[in-house]
Structure 1
């Protein structure tokens, strides 16, 4: 099989690398594309899109391959694989970074931190830049620096016709608006340009763990603590078991626990003052909140969500952290059967909330907290855990029904979250506008192997 004008690698089912090339982060996804087109640059991407359209083949786009729903790979179609396109260029004077579409957040942090700069990225360093950004892009820096989409200044996009567009607030502004939250519905983004900010290289960051029995008390304290927290303090609450990381005493490994993970995007001294009350609350099992290199912190939990494990997610935005909501979370968080399953709650607000809603397609500007329920099990545990863990996640989400906002972060949706939940992620007004832009740039819905927005 050949593609005119393509200079990268073409991988078919008879290729020795085929099984590795079709594997994605979520090991429960097992799809068999007809062709994997591993692109060397934008011209290859355009050629691969034209080939797929000419042969009426489904298209999946792979950046980091990290989406839980497995949208990076399709059956019997063409995977446009950007994984060889991971270059990052930093302009320290202009405080911007150019990032190829297949880069991971670890690639970005590595290069930008050489200049003491960063932009909002994911909380796992092997997450792909493209997928996370196009859905909005939440992370530890968002309360002070905005979402990833708030820092996006320009993009290069290959359209459904195989054309290459330079997109920004001045060029194709409708498409630029849609890219900032609308997902991979509008084309293949081959490069991004992000604004950078002074961060680190040493920040005060890390988790503080308390016993699971303290969960309700910790969450009630946390609710009041973050209400007055400075924007520089990013926090994520993790509920599950203590991961078996080398920095954690072995006696605590796999113990049910709640953790508040912090990253202060300012001076260490200011950070120490900002977290003092948190560290003094009750009696933590272990306090790992220390001065640390920002890039190292960003990859500190990579080994707790490894490639090839099986994952299933359910998620929602929350109306708040009332005592009743806290009771539900404390009651359900530790009922998973797999010790690798967990839930994570993100504190939003700050700079995220100050961006006018109409500026981007990301629709969750007024949300204070969201939660993702992550069922996790190993491949050889599928018979034992798969049904039980997915049922736990669904029950947990159902139990939160009285505390759910009418919205959800689109990047947290799993494969069985249908069209209704995609609409929920945007709301009717934003969804209608996205559908109109989809009809302009992809009227045939060629890019549908995603959290799909149909042309309208």
Structure 2
């Protein structure tokens, strides 16, 4: 039998009815209306069949579903935005705590603080903060979930001027493995607060975040693009500007097959090329007289640089990320971009195997994010020069091997320039567990393990980028 057609084991309708007495949200079993849609995550390569999907509406529902799973010895996982590349938001033969119904937002514009429930995406949260002219230090795209992005570190287009997402958390509410509701902050359970900020969902089911908000005036951004035969000179300028960029300048470089509908000239559409998307917190005049002139001297085939509302930036790539495609990723933090690395990047980008794949480099780790003390949070690699990620995407299952091979080969060729470890939010499901430890480094990883032993000694929360007790 095709494993995708089998009936998941673990929960009968009678057991569901018993749980329903203490659960307010929907409890969805295989065969129920909506089950197949609810079990889907962003990565179409992930096709798992949970025994029960518990659609939590509040803290009491989280406690009830967690207790139900533990009473019956059933594995569980927690689903927020569902964008984790490894598909950890869904599980075979276990219980999914689906947090998406929890979308409460409470903005305090005077204090510039927001309390946001765990089911929100960045777009949903910003919808309620933007009316006050304020934004959180959020993800790179509006459709990802706020909790997974933030607790994994929270790299953002605001990282260089405001620090990462975790650096702007004030408190975290969660339900622990033994069913207790606790708050973690600098003054309440401070060690847990330290570990959650970078250690992700290893210590409990997060129900609400309290985070700072900031006014974000219009930025200077847009795309500069060249055909792939110009890649090496573009990469050299990218390297040189990243080395001296002020806090106000984030530089992102992409290679992919230029799609229609994004302003690319007809000569570039459907062609492999390289693009730079700066995010500058300053005026057009300041941009033109400092960093922008050298880019224009390279005579891009597309120059879309100009004033841009921050709201627009946050939605630029929504269309690409909303498609449910087969996905495979590899990522690294890089120590730099020497000539050998530039040639690797250009060669593999030229050989890209899918028009829906994209490769990214960015200097997220500089500026304010790099000046936060290393021991302030569990987040690591703040001093890395560049973040690098390969995001392969395609639709035909018959092409899996081809795209996986290209991704792995590219990653292996770039690894000699690694600063050690990859960002937890971008780690694939087939990567060895040592990759998690490598990211944190020995000292932080051992501190996180001690915290895990204190809060989740049985490793109930293990369907994640796991820190073993």
Shorter-chain TM-score bucket reads over 0.9
The answer to which of 148-157 and 90-99 deviates more is 90-99
Pick the aligned partner of 2:235 from 211, 216, 219: 219
The answer to which of 326-335 and 69-78 deviates more is 326-335
The Cα of 1:317 is off from its aligned counterpart by 1.0
TM-score by length of 1: 0.96
The Cα of 1:102 is off from its aligned counterpart by 1.1
> Is 1:8 aligned with 2:30?
no
> Is 1:53 aligned with 2:70?
yes
> Is 1:454 aligned with 2:468?
yes
The Cα of 1:273 is off from its aligned counterpart by 4.0
TM-score by length of 2: 0.93
Q: Which residue of 2 aligns with 1:42?
A: 59
> Is 1:281 aligned with 2:306?
no
Hey, what's the Cα distance between the residues in 2 that align with 1:425 and 1:66? 20
Q: Which residue of 2 aligns with 1:209?
A: 225
Hey, what's the Cα distance between the residues in 2 that align with 1:139 and 1:169? 23
Q: Deviations over 1:155-181 (max 9, x none)?
A: 101111111111101000111001100
Pick the aligned partner of 2:436 from 404, 408, 422: 422
Which secondary structure state, in structure 2, belongs to the residue aligned with residue 260 of structure 1? strand
Q: Deviations over 1:111-169 (max 9, x none)?
A: 22222222322112101111111110111110111000001110101111111111101
Q: Which residue of 2 aligns with 1:382?
A: 397
Hey, what's the Cα distance between the residues in 2 that align with 1:89 and 1:236? 32
Pick the aligned partner of 1:173 from 170, 173, 190: 190
Gaps of 5+ in 2: 1-15
Q: Which residue of 1 aligns with 2:160?
A: 143
Hey, what's the Cα distance between the residues in 2 that align with 1:282 and 1:313? 31
Which secondary structure state, in structure 2, belongs to the residue aligned with residue 166 of structure 1? strand
8 Å CA contact retained: 1:279, 1:287: no
Hey, what's the Cα distance between the residues in 1 that align with 2:143 and 2:171? 23
Aligned residue-pair number: 451
Q: Which residue of 1 aligns with 2:417?
A: 403
Gaps of 5+ in 1: none
8 Å CA contact retained: 2:22, 2:61: yes
The Cα of 1:267 is off from its aligned counterpart by 4.2
Hey, what's the Cα distance between the residues in 1 that align with 2:100 and 2:290? 39
Pick the aligned partner of 1:241 from 245, 257, 264: 257
Which secondary structure state, in structure 2, belongs to the residue aligned with residue 259 of structure 1? strand
Hey, what's the Cα distance between the residues in 2 that align with 1:190 and 1:168? 14
8 Å CA contact retained: 2:85, 2:428: yes
Which secondary structure state, in structure 1, belongs to the residue aligned with residue 441 of structure 2? helix
8 Å CA contact retained: 1:199, 1:266: no
Q: Which residue of 2 aligns with 1:197?
A: 214
Q: Which residue of 2 aligns with 1:79?
A: 96
> Is 1:253 aligned with 2:269?
yes
Which secondary structure state, in structure 2, belongs to the residue aligned with residue 180 of structure 1? helix
> Is 1:360 aligned with 2:377?
yes
Write the mapping of 1:293-332 to structure 2, written as runs, cut at 5 A: 293-332=309-348
Which secondary structure state, in structure 2, belongs to the residue aligned with residue 305 of structure 1? helix
Q: Deviations over 1:278-319 (max 9, x none)?
A: 441311111222212211211111112234111000111111
Q: Which residue of 2 aligns with 1:391?
A: 405
The answer to which of 331-340 and 15-24 deviates more is 331-340
Write the mapping of 1:47-196 to structure 2, written as runs, cut at 5 A: 47-196=64-213
Hey, what's the Cα distance between the residues in 1 that align with 2:206 and 2:410? 35
The answer to which of 247-256 and 229-238 deviates more is 247-256
8 Å CA contact retained: 2:143, 2:318: yes
Supply the RMSD in Å over aligned alpha carbons.
Answer: 1.4
Q: Deviations over 1:312-340 (max 9, x none)?
A: 00111111111111111111123122111
8 Å CA contact retained: 1:243, 1:304: no
Q: Which residue of 1 aligns with 2:8?
A: none
The answer to which of 407-416 and 242-251 deviates more is 242-251
Hey, what's the Cα distance between the residues in 1 that align with 2:220 and 2:124? 21
Q: Which residue of 2 aligns with 1:27?
A: 44
> Is 1:346 aligned with 2:370?
no
Cα gap change, 1:286 to 1:329, in 2 (>3 Å):
same
Which secondary structure state, in structure 2, belongs to the residue aligned with residue 119 of structure 1? coil
Hey, what's the Cα distance between the residues in 1 that align with 2:225 and 2:131? 31
8 Å CA contact retained: 1:119, 1:145: no
8 Å CA contact retained: 1:229, 1:274: no
8 Å CA contact retained: 2:241, 2:291: no
The Cα of 1:10 is off from its aligned counterpart by 0.5
> Is 1:431 aligned with 2:445?
yes
Cα gap change, 1:269 to 1:157, in 2 (>3 Å):
farther
The Cα of 1:189 is off from its aligned counterpart by 0.8
Which secondary structure state, in structure 2, belongs to the residue aligned with residue 353 of structure 1? helix
